[in-house]
Structure 1
Amino acid sequence: MRLLAQLSYLLALVAFLPLATAVRLLKSTSLIECMADSNFTASLFEVTFFPDNRSLALDINGMSDISGNVTAELRVTAYGFTAAMETLNPCELNIEALCPMQAGPIPLSTSLTVSESVIKEIPSIAYTIPDLDGQVFVYINSTDTGERIACLEASLSNNQTVYQKAVEWVVAIIAGLGLVASAITSGLGHSNTAAHVAANALSLFGFFQAQAMIGETAVQMPPIVESWTQNFQWSMGIIQVGFLQTIATWYQRATGGEPSTLLSNLATTSVNVQKRWLDAGAVLYNRSLNLLQKRDSSGGDTLTVTVTGLERVGFKADMERTNIFLTGLIWFVVFVSFTTIGVAAFKGICELLVKYKKMPSDKFQDFRNGWKIVMRGILFRLTLVGWAQMCTLCFWELVERDSAAEVVLAVIMWLSMAVVLAWAAFKVITLARRSIAMHKNPAYILYSDPACLNKWGFLYVQYRATAYYFVIPVLGYLLLKGLFIAFGQNAEVVQAVAFLIIEAAFLVAVSVIRPWMDKRTNIFNISIAACNFLNAIFLLVFSNVFNQPGTVTGVMGIVFFIYNAAFALVLLILVLIASIYAIVSKNPDMRYQPMRDDRGSFIKSNSALNTELDALANTARGGGEMELKSTAYHPAYEDESNSLSSGNGASVNHHHDISKAPPSPIDPSVPLFPSHAPPSYDSNGYGNDIERSRSPGQLGDFNPASALAMQNYRQQHNSSPWQRGAGYDH
């Protein structure tokens, strides 16, 4: 418990330390019009207020069509509350550029002193709460007629944010540690631990991607939600590196595209990160303004640009809109390449260590003997990990069309991944059905053939044997979310409703089917699905479909951040502890109960030939000499060309001769299932209680001469290893 408290404190300190050390201020860097036919625009708008010395610094480059004396009504709102109201007279404040106002350019750079009464009206929490959801409305009225001639809106910030690079690094390292720990424990022969750690690490990564996808929608979310989801955009490949942006821009120009120059024109362009609008008329006006101005960021006469959805994510990451797709694609390729190089290097290091007798020859023996098949399985797993990322970015590129070559890349990349995953899913389903037809158990072929397990296991090892098909709903679930993000950037309500329906359907499916390998993993993943569904409800509220007050939206934004941060922290700690335990423990499998789908009885390990199954099988036969090879071992499984996963056994052939099928990995003299009646499975894929209660002597021909030896063996091992492998300890 003390370790958990320390980890929690460390992560919280990393996330919020910058918030406690910053100088108190309020600032705005964008100005937009909030009424039609406004007579004032600004290409540069920077206003900073320091309450400690009561100074207000102004740096404005505007264009005015107003002539004469004016007054300005100032209204400051925070989370829907009106924090302060003030009427300003430029002549009384000695602002020569505005007293009187003249039509034409208005360059203004000055500093003002704010009255003490205004400072007292602003609550102190406005300077400390991260990602302040505040706006300043300035209504310019003619002094002579009293008519309102301009309306301006500026978003407020207090320089405090939950978007921190340290948070990105921490969550990325812990997620990567989980995958590395599962790979190491798998190579050491702890398949049960490896399966659990890998499943949890991949689920954690999937949760990060779900958070990122919320931030990529076009819904006008509170600033704290935008910043929180920005912490996870690395999981979608949106990572800003200077030279990669240069490469992406060069490639687009070289292939006939026109790169965006929004970031390079910030000195003359006011960028508004779209948020809630409080006035219904302003909603319609700003949406129309957004449609007109969004595409003019590459050069034109537009002075104000509003960014939403994926463009907003790219802008917050200091990335040009036209570089988002190619950046994501490059990072995915880099990740796959470095992983491939790392696996090959690890193979070479292991061989050198064994050659020079620095490491036992049986260490990582399965990996060293079949590393090419393992490599293929890893590449398939990386394809699965990148599926959500590529679905979103590739389809979005079809909408953006940054250049003809990038569109071709998007089509080829998505089709390649779709074909690979579809082929892998088809192979798994074919093998499982064949196993059911031949052995009344889908786990038989899926786990007894090492080539099948190493190559296609990434699709089904995290699920129980009878839920081998569940990867298909998962792929469809991610595909639908990517489609609505990519094609719904101008329809925020459609996106919100679609997310709600998709998340609700997925939550119901996983709650009813409970497809994962055991109770603990099901709880882990169903909790993630429930959190994603709750996020979808909040997203629908943020879309303003209920026309709720701004206060409700602001408070819900803070609640969204709090419960997601707490949930992510719990998941990170669980994965971190599991990863550390898997690496440092001598026997990490003791932490997990055996699977209830009999996979442990079928998995063949070349590095542990003298297994408990050998001992039991030899004892049951009455043999006095232990065989050197496992009864589960057969050369047919070692040769990939003869394995069921190579295509020969997986192909559907109704005239197939069962007698030519690969031999059973279990010695027929001690059959796992009764020959007269195969075990029945309940709706959850677990064996019938009557079948589980049968002893090994009842499963085959009973040999009285070996009964005593078998009893002594069981007493030494507490219970039958057959029962342990089949999950009887539950």
Structure 2
Amino acid sequence: MRWSITRPLAALASLAALASPSHAEYILQSNSLNACQENSGFTASLFKVVFTPKNHTANVDIVAVSSVQGNVVFDVAISAYGYQFIKRTVDPCKVGLAGLCPMTAGKIPLNFNLNVGEDAVKQIPSIAYTFPDLDAKVRVFINRTDGSEAGQSVACVEADISNGKTVDLLGVKWATAIVAGLALVSSAIVSGLGHQNAAAHVAANALSLFGYFQAQAMLGLTGVHLPPVVMAWTQDFQWSMGIIRIGFMQDIFTWYQRATGGTPSTIFDSLTTVSVQVEKRAVNLSLGLAKRSLAMMPRSISEPMSAIMKRDLIKRGNIQTSSGSYIVYGIQRVAFRAGIESTNLFMTGLIFFCLLVLFTSAAVAAFKGFLETAVKKKWMPSDRFLEFRNGWLTVLKGILFRLTLIGFPQMTILCLWEFTQKDSAAEVVLAVFFLFGMVITLGWAAYKVIMIARRSILMHNNPAYILFSDPQALNKWGFLYVQFRASAYYFIVPVLGYALVKAMFIAFAQDKGTVQAVGFLILEAGALIAASVLRPWMDKKTNSFNIAICALNFINSIFLMIFTEVFNQPPLVTGVVGVILWITNAVFALILLLMLIVSTIFVFFRENPDGRYQIMADDRTSFMKSQTHLAQTTELDALAATARGDKGGFKGGLDLDDDAESITSDSLRHQTEHLVVPSNGSVTGFSSQPRAPASPSMPLFPADGPRSPPRFNERPASPFGASNYGPAFRAQNNSSPWQRGAGYDH
């Protein structure tokens, strides 16, 4: 059976590009012809081939540039997932390909339809039309058959094939975004209803899930060679980095860049005349091809072009070859797949983060107004959401801090990357402002949490006391520590450092995929070890949830290292590992989503959501007010409110930002003014009888049973958990109820 050039073309397109459910008709297509040899004498600025098996026709639209002259033969190899299953030699003279027998130098425009024989169509397996993001390609070596270079390869081209089917689906993006968003909103509502324990669990799991989505997106932002299915899968989570395309906004960003002295890229405006190679091989080879293509030009042209390319093309990642086609990789690859010009990517992420902050602030203010109206109209009891209504500004500050924490990985990557791009002077200024603003804000917040916790340890031998008993501290700074156990309040510092270093690897090493992979491997290994050894989250279930995420992120970093091909593994191994990564993460993400959905539903349909969760070991619920314990007002409730200094459901008038660290209630602050704290930590020098720090949700006596009444000459226990009787007395009379369960008795 004679082999025509249409057979490898059709087989290539069918085996390499896999599935998009939007097409009702089977197709196989390729949109770029990539050079696979350093000194390739045949390239194409435009390459579009669409094969329709239904009518056995392939439409070919090519604008090729050739520097090869003479008779040649084509060595055609077709592979799927790195496994080569077809290899043929095609003589263009025997199959009657005009312009290729003999091959002539110059520009060769071709636009025609090819009839593909029935026998060739039957060789294409049906799975090639349906399997998503199939990693298949056809590679053609052009070999000379005459002259002194007979038998030598003078050119190599490679085409990736797609059938339009992909795992990069709009439905997946919406589903993941809605579930994560609703979980965060639900935790806020449940917290407002007074179920602090349940709200903390839902919020912690939602934040961890969101962080996992961002970790998936970061894989796609690396400059490492990624198999098609991995590129498509990671694209599903780029919304978590603010990479969302809206047409009119892109026009605004382009105008803004021009107005501030920048030069926007125009890849999408030239797609009808040039091809874009979505880089999957080592980036250094592409850079080398682009540089060597300039060497073929006259010196008077190549030198200024080289400077332009170095300044505008290589820096921007939009490398343009001598044939006119573009090569995108890393962050630019993600932007291109999202339909965003690479020069608009920074502004896209920045504006969506700002819109999230603005819309959230407006929603909180509107909710506050609705609640006040509902109370005045007597649509709901006056004590519902009382703490939120009286201290909603402090709650809003805490929500904005939480949004800053969520957007920190996104904005650090985009801002640091903008420093390498310099799209315009104004955008660089914005990058500086947002990067340092967020770093300083979160750094200051982490510092305040540490200072509050240390003060609480000094006064009460327990960091949980002030961190969770003070409503203003909890509402404003709680976003940094509620997901951790009280004794691990400091863990937010390594979390922020981890995110910042990871962003540096992504932004500054775009053309060094191996460096990025090694950095990811070290960071994820450190994160997994820290999570497994320290187990800093609030309880066993939350620790298991987060350790599982850290473990999968570490596995993904190993896969990323394999994709760099530093191990020189067979291409088949790389292709199979890509499929394994997709399947593993898809199953894992589905399990996490279902767990979060179920836990959130239970919170709303259980009469006592807090009862579903085990009391946390740090005894934080003993210090927090819970609506489930405030069903009836008793004298003990009034005593507890007086001890905390609460007024009307919210304790106002505190200055948590004061350098004097006045972080407790007014009554406790007044008492501590007369304290003398010796080096051994004991508290002496009370000027008045201390008030009992009782809480409606906390027993008046330690949990190990009632103690015998004190004798007349025995001083009452200090409300701060400190004792004046030394270690011996403490050992004889049990540890302080405030200290027990805070991580010190482990």
Question: What TM bracket, shorter-length normalisation?
Answer: 0.7 to 0.9
Q: 2:277 aligns with which of 258, 272, 275?
A: 272
In the TM superposition, what are the counterparts of 1:167-246 in structure 2 within 5 Å? 167-246=172-251
Match of 2:37 in 1: 35
Q: CA deviation at 1:120?
A: 4.6
In the TM superposition, what are the counterparts of 1:46-85 in structure 2 within 5 Å? 46-85=48-87
In the TM superposition, what are the counterparts of 1:628-643 in structure 2 within 5 Å? 630=641, 632-635=643-646, 638-642=650-654
**Structure 1 residues 62-71 or 548-557, which shifts more?**
62-71
What letter is aligned with 1:348?
G
Match of 1:434 in 2: 455
Say whether the 8 Å CA contact 1:594–1:727 is kept in structure 2: no
**Structure 1 residues 108-117 or 524-533, which shifts more?**
108-117
Cα 1:231–1:289 shift into 2, 3 Å = farther
By percentage of residues, which structure has more helix? 1
Partner-residue secondary structure (3-state), 1:83: strand
Partner-residue secondary structure (3-state), 1:195: helix
Return the alpha-carbon distance in structure 1 between the equivalents of residues 417 and 335 of structure 2. 13
Say whether the 8 Å CA contact 2:77–2:84 is kept in structure 1: yes
Match of 1:6 in 2: none
Cα 1:698–1:100 shift into 2, 3 Å = farther
TM-score by length of 1: 0.84
Say whether the 8 Å CA contact 1:484–1:498 is kept in structure 2: yes
Say whether the 8 Å CA contact 1:481–1:499 is kept in structure 2: yes
Match of 1:104 in 2: 106
What letter is aligned with 2:179?
I
Cα 1:376–1:115 shift into 2, 3 Å = same
Cα 1:699–1:544 shift into 2, 3 Å = farther
Say whether the 8 Å CA contact 1:76–1:84 is kept in structure 2: yes
Match of 1:462 in 2: 483
Is 1:526 aligned with 2:547?
yes
Say whether the 8 Å CA contact 2:640–2:695 is kept in structure 1: no
In the TM superposition, what are the counterparts of 1:499-538 in structure 2 within 5 Å? 499-538=520-559
Deviations 1:247-269 (CA, angstroms, capped at 9, x unpaired): 11111111111111111111222
Q: 2:591 aligns with which of 570, 574, 579?
A: 570
Match of 1:683 in 2: none
What letter is aligned with 1:355?
K
Match of 2:615 in 1: 594
Cα 1:159–1:439 shift into 2, 3 Å = same
**Structure 1 residues 28-37 or 322-331, which shifts more?**
28-37
What letter is aligned with 1:634?
G
Deviations 1:39-82 (CA, angstroms, capped at 9, x unpaired): 32211101123344443321101222334444323211111111
Is 1:317 aligned with 2:344?
no
Cα 1:496–1:228 shift into 2, 3 Å = same
List alignment gaps of at least 5 residues for structure 1: 1-15, 619-625, 675-690, 703-721
Partner-residue secondary structure (3-state), 2:568: coil
What letter is aligned with 1:649?
E
Return the alpha-carbon distance in structure 2 between the equivalents of residues 321 and 660 of structure 1. 67
Is 1:369 aligned with 2:390?
yes
Match of 1:140 in 2: 142
Match of 2:327 in 1: 306
In the TM superposition, what are the counterparts of 1:608-687 in structure 2 within 5 Å? 609=630, 630=641, 632-635=643-646, 638-642=650-654, 647-650=659-662, 657-658=674-675, 666-667=693-694
Q: 1:549 aligns with which of 561, 570, 587?
A: 570
Say whether the 8 Å CA contact 2:46–2:62 is kept in structure 1: yes
TM-score by length of 2: 0.82
Return the alpha-carbon distance in structure 2 between the equivalents of residues 669 and 562 of structure 1. 49
Return the alpha-carbon distance in structure 1 between the equivalents of residues 689 and 480 of structure 2. 23
Return the alpha-carbon distance in structure 2 between the equivalents of residues 185 and 357 of structure 1. 21
Cα 1:182–1:289 shift into 2, 3 Å = farther
Q: 2:705 aligns with which of 690, 695, 698?
A: 695
**Structure 1 residues 599-608 or 237-246, which shifts more?**
599-608
Q: CA deviation at 1:582?
A: 1.8
Partner-residue secondary structure (3-state), 2:226: coil
Say whether the 8 Å CA contact 2:139–2:156 is kept in structure 1: yes
**Structure 1 residues 222-231 or 292-301, which shifts more?**
292-301
Q: CA deviation at 1:96?
A: 3.1
Cα 1:298–1:118 shift into 2, 3 Å = closer
In the TM superposition, what are the counterparts of 1:327-366 in structure 2 within 5 Å? 327-366=348-387
Return the alpha-carbon distance in structure 1 between the equivalents of residues 696 and 365 of structure 2. 41
Match of 2:723 in 1: none
Q: CA deviation at 1:154?
A: 1.3
Return the alpha-carbon distance in structure 2 between the equivalents of residues 346 and 492 of structure 1. 47
Return the alpha-carbon distance in structure 2 between the equivalents of residues 23 and 669 of structure 1. 66
Return the alpha-carbon distance in structure 1 between the equivalents of residues 512 and 613 of structure 2. 46
Match of 1:4 in 2: none
Say whether the 8 Å CA contact 2:452–2:466 is kept in structure 1: yes
What letter is aligned with 1:343?
V
List alignment gaps of at least 5 residues for structure 2: 1-17, 294-308, 676-685, 713-736
Say whether the 8 Å CA contact 2:463–2:742 is kept in structure 1: no
Say whether the 8 Å CA contact 1:362–1:607 is kept in structure 2: no
> How many positions carry a matched residue from both structures?
664
Return the alpha-carbon distance in structure 2 between the equivalents of residues 661 and 556 of structure 1. 70
Return the alpha-carbon distance in structure 2 between the equivalents of residues 473 and 660 of structure 1. 42
Partner-residue secondary structure (3-state), 2:533: helix
Return the alpha-carbon distance in structure 1 between the equivalents of residues 467 and 156 of structure 2. 67
Cα 1:643–1:660 shift into 2, 3 Å = farther
Match of 2:427 in 1: 406
Partner-residue secondary structure (3-state), 2:707: helix
Is 1:561 aligned with 2:582?
yes
Match of 1:149 in 2: 154
Return the alpha-carbon distance in structure 1 between the equivalents of residues 388 and 62 of structure 2. 64
Partner-residue secondary structure (3-state), 2:653: helix
Q: CA deviation at 1:93?
A: 3.7
Return the alpha-carbon distance in structure 2 between the equivalents of residues 398 and 284 of structure 1. 21
Partner-residue secondary structure (3-state), 1:37: coil
Cα 1:646–1:281 shift into 2, 3 Å = closer
Cα 1:699–1:308 shift into 2, 3 Å = farther
Cα 1:112–1:562 shift into 2, 3 Å = same
Q: CA deviation at 1:534?
A: 0.6
RMSD over aligned Cα atoms: 3.4
**Structure 1 residues 238-247 or 661-670, which shifts more?**
661-670
Cα 1:252–1:461 shift into 2, 3 Å = same
What letter is aligned with 2:171?
A
Match of 1:87 in 2: 89
What letter is aligned with 1:412?
F
Cα 1:485–1:419 shift into 2, 3 Å = same
Q: 1:26 aligns with which of 25, 28, 32?
A: 28
What letter is aligned with 1:74?
V
What letter is aligned with 2:45?
S
Q: CA deviation at 1:90?
A: 3.6
Return the alpha-carbon distance in structure 2 between the equivalents of residues 345 and 700 of structure 1. 53
Q: CA deviation at 1:648?
A: 4.1
Cα 1:638–1:164 shift into 2, 3 Å = closer
Q: CA deviation at 1:139?
A: 2.1
Q: CA deviation at 1:727?
A: 10
Say whether the 8 Å CA contact 1:79–1:554 is kept in structure 2: yes
What letter is aligned with 1:316?
R
Cα 1:656–1:418 shift into 2, 3 Å = farther
Q: 2:267 aligns with which of 262, 266, 270?
A: 262
Return the alpha-carbon distance in structure 2 between the equivalents of residues 701 and 667 of structure 1. 22
Q: CA deviation at 1:199?
A: 0.4
